[in-house]
Amino acid sequence: MKKYIADWTVKENILFNGGEYCLLKLGFEKKIPKILPGQFVQVLIEDSSTTFLRRPISVHFVDKKKNELWLFVQVIGDGTRKLSEQKKGNHLNLIYPLGNGFTLPEKSGKFLLIGGGVGAAPLLYLGACLQELGYKSEFLLGAKTEKDILQINEFGKYGKFYIATEDGSAGEKGYVTDHSVLQSADFDLIYTCGSKLMMTAVARYARERGIACEVSLENTMACGIGACLCCVEKTVRGNVCVCTEGPVMNINQLTWRI
């Protein structure tokens, strides 16, 4: 897929939990090129003396009607804080679309999209793309506590959702892999994005039941385009770049202790 570098305009920046998360809605002067669910962008952070590299952020949603790209960001350090401080009308320089994206199924089935914390972000666009293909999705969203379960109304547009929180403040108490829906339903395909710990547990669940499963990986990145080889994941084919051969990988590619 052809990659681009261009300035986008902040249309809206919605803060959650007093600035712990932000939803950036970015507009573009031309029609947004095709972006696959699971792909990411590299955002240039300006005016932060401690931030040198671009920040890889997954595509949360592409609003084709409004020609907007949504990024859902958790504020972790100075770079992501700068993103949360963006005002309407500001410009952000992006390199996009990057990475491979989730494999879209060829026929209908029972699909479960499992997100942990801010890892849920790319699953919204995945759900939207699955719906576009005429497929129904179910979402299982996990987080530490109720306030970290975000964008529920958006997810609800594309399918049924289940919630698990570690403290039981919303949905079922426990990890996503403890949720009762995993015991009561037979899924054909699972997509997941979240912490490695969570995704390992999801991958184990999928493998035990012979369910196809794709995970979206995260790693610190420099270039984002396969040039620097900093973000590699050890796979059955050796070390491969998460930025180009991922971030989405089938669990059969991984060397994790599943």
Partner 1 sequence: MADLSIEIGGLNFKNPVLTASGTFGYGNEYGDFIDLSRLGGVVVKGTTLHPREGNSCPRMAETPAGMLNAVGLQNKGVDYFISEIYPKIKNIDSRMIVNVSGSTIEEYVACAVKINELKKIPAIELNISCPNVKEGGMAFGTNCRSASEVVRAVRKVYHKLLIVKLSPNVTDITEIARAVEAEGADSVSLINTLLGMAIDAEKRRPVLSTITGGLSGPCIKPVALRMVWQTAKAVKIPVIGLGGISNWKDAIEFILAGATAVQIGTYNFIDPTVSIKIVDGIEDYLNRYGFHSVRELIGNMQ
Q: Which residues bind partner 1 (CB under 8 A)?
A: 2-5, 44, 49-54, 95, 219-234, 238-239
Residue closer to partner 1 (CB basis): 59 or 98 = 98
In this complex, which beta carbon is closest to partner 1, that of residue 56 or of residue 115?
A: 56
3-state secondary structure of 171: coil
Min dist. Cβ of residue 51 to partner 1 (A): 7
Cα–chain center distance at 116: 10
180, burial (CB in 10 Å: exposed 0-12, middle 13-18, buried 19+): exposed
Whichever of 26 and 241 has its CB closer to partner 1, that residue is 241
Give the ranges where the chain is alpha helix by DSSP (H).
78-84, 121-132, 152-156, 181-184, 196-209, 242-245
Question: In this complex, which beta carbon is closest to partner 1, that of residue 50 or of residue 153?
Answer: 50
At residue 253, φ and ψ (nearest 5 deg) are -85, -20
Cα distances (angstroms) measured from residue 22 to each of 30, 47, 240: 24, 19, 31
CB atoms within 10 A of CB 78: 12
CB of 221 to partner 1, least distance (A): 8
Nearer to partner 1, 23 or 59 (CB): 59
> What would you report as the CA-atom Rg of the chain, rounded to the nearest whole angstrom?
17
Least Cβ distance, residue 234 to partner 1 (angstroms): 7
| In the complex, minimum distance from the CB of residue 219 to partner 1, in angstroms, rounded to a whole number | 7
The tokens of 57 are what? 């952020």
Minimum distance from residue 40 beta carbon to partner 1 (Å): 15
